Homo-oligomer: A and B are copies of this chain.
Amino acid sequence: MSQQYQCRIYVTLRPSVLDPAGVAVESGLKQLGLRGVEQVRIGKYIELTVTASDETQAKQQLDQMCDQLLANPVIENYRFELTPVKPLSVNP
C-alpha cells in the first residue's frame, strides 16, 4: 500500500559561495534601522507531497528531485524533512 508524505525541502548556498542577495537584504535591513543583523543568507524552501510505498522510497525520490531539479549540487546544499500524512480512514 502506498503512503503519502508531506515534505519540506531547504536549499541553501554552500557556505563558500558568495550570496549577493543576502548582502543586499542585510544592507536593506540595516537601512531600516535593524543594526544587529548579520550573516544573511537567502535560500529556497519547497513544500510538496510525495506518494511512495515507504519512507526509504520517499527519501530516494526526494534525493533524486533535489539532485536533478531543485538544487544545483555545485553551489547548493539541500536537506529535507518528511512526515507521513494520515491516510483517510475507511469506515472507522
Contact code string A44-74 (vs B, CB < 8 Å = 1, else 0)? 1111111110000000010011001110000
A65 to B42 Cα, complex, angstroms: 14
Q: For the complex formed, measure the closest distance between the CB of A48 and the CB atoms of chain B, giving whole angstroms.
A: 4
Give this chain's copy count: 2
Contact count band on A: 20 to 34
Interface assignment of A89: CB less than 8 Å from any CB of chain B: no
Chain A binding surface SS class? strand
Q: Does A82 reach chain B (CB closer than 8 Å)? A: no
Chain B residues positioned under 8 Å from A38 (CB to CB): 48-51
State the CA gap A77–B30 with chains docked (Å).
22
Q: Which residue of B lies closest to A51 (CB)?
A: B36
**6 tightest Cβ-Cβ pairs between the two chains A and B:** A36-B51, A45-B45, A43-B45, A40-B48, A41-B47, A38-B49
